[in-house]
């Protein structure tokens, strides 16, 4: 008597090896649950679309088609419209960052930016140092390129610099990143915010990356 064999994915043996370590998107799963009518999500970062000024958005879309014509419906430059990149250049100049519009790439959200960065900077086995816990979307964007991700614990002021520097002593990291910290004592964190990129950059091939947001305690 033969043995029944169920094949769920007939292409499973044709995929690239790097997909072996890729798991279902935690962000996608989170948004799928948050989109249910019976769920009030406080975790996904989903905008409250009922607060979007629908009339103004519709007006802006009509004006774009009216003024740009068919060009508004056509593919544009892969690095973003020049007008937007020029505006970003001007905004960055206000905080002392000097760059040209050609230095700016406009992405379809943070996920695309993280994926492009990882695709450009990471080889299989490269060490990525990140705060723990960190943004799930970043871990997923990095994981497709098969790095070795090391998480550094945080305390009340963010990533612990002593543990980061000890980690850098052990491993020459390709990327050290911080994302989305919300801290209550920004003055105490200032020393870390300047020490962190200096510690990372002192090691060959280590690229410091990330944005730290803060607000004062009330």
Q: Is the pLDDT of residue 129 over 50?
A: yes
> Cβ of 115: how many Cβ atoms within 10 Å?
18
Q: Is the pLDDT of residue 125 over 80?
A: yes
- Split at pLDDT 50, 70, 90, the class of 183 is very low
Q: What is the pLDDT of residue 96?
A: 92
Q: Please give the full DSSP string across 149-199, using - where no structure is assigned.
A: EEEEEEETTEE-HHHHHHHHHH---SEEEEEEEEES-HHHHHHHHHHHHHH
Q: What is the pLDDT of residue 75?
A: 87
Q: Is the pLDDT of residue 53 over 90?
A: yes
Section 169-186 average pLDDT: 51
User: Is residue 23 a contact partner of residue 29, using CB atoms and an 8 Å limit?
Assistant: no
Range in 22-36, 153-167, 188-202 with the lowest mean pLDDT: 188-202
Q: What is the pLDDT of residue 198?
A: 59
User: Is residue 164 a contact partner of residue 175, using CB atoms and an 8 Å limit?
Assistant: no
Q: Is the pLDDT of residue 58 over 80?
A: yes
- The predicted-structure confidence for 187-214, as pLDDT tens digits, reads as follows 445 566 666 555 555 554 555 554 333 3
Q: Is the pLDDT of residue 89 over 90?
A: yes
* Structure letter (DSSP) for residue 58: H
Domains, the chain, ordered by start: 52-106 (no CATH), 109-214 (3.40.640.10)
Q: What is the pLDDT of residue 185?
A: 37
118-127 own/partner pairs: CB under 8 Å, 24+ apart = 118/142, 118/144, 118/145, 118/147, 119/145, 121/174, 121/175, 121/207, 122/146, 122/147, 122/174, 122/175, 123/174, 124/18, 126/173, 126/174, 126/175, 127/171, 127/172, 127/173, 127/174, 127/175
Q: Is the pLDDT of residue 80 over 60?
A: yes
């Amino acid at each position: 008597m033969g043995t029944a064999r169920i094949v769920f994915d007939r292409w499973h043996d044709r995929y690239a090896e790097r997909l072996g370590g890729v798991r279902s998107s935690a962000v996608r799963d989170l948004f799928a649950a948050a989109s249910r009518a019976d769920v009030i999500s406080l975790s996904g970062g989903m905008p409250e679309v009922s607060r979007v000024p629908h009339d103004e958005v519709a007006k802006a879309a009509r004006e774009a088609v009216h003024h740009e014509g068919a060009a508004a419906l056509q593919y544009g430059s892969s690095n973003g419209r020049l007008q937007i990149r020029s505006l970003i250049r001007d905004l960055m100049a206000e905080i002392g960052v000097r760059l040209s519009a050609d230095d700016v790439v406009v992405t379809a959200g943070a996920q695309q930016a993280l994926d492009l960065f990882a695709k450009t900077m990471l080889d299989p086995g490269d060490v990525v140092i990140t705060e723990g816990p960190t943004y799930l979307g970043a871990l997923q964007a990095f994981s497709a390129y098969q790095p070795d991700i090391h998480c550094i614990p945080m305390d009340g002021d963010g990533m612990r610099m002593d543990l980061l520097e000890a980690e850098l002593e052990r491993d020459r990291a390709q990327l050290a990143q911080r994302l989305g910290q919300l801290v209550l004592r920004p003055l105490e964190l200032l020393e870390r915010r300047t020490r962190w990129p200096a510690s990372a950059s002192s090691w060959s091939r280590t690229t410091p990356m990330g944005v730290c947001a803060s607000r004062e305690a009330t």
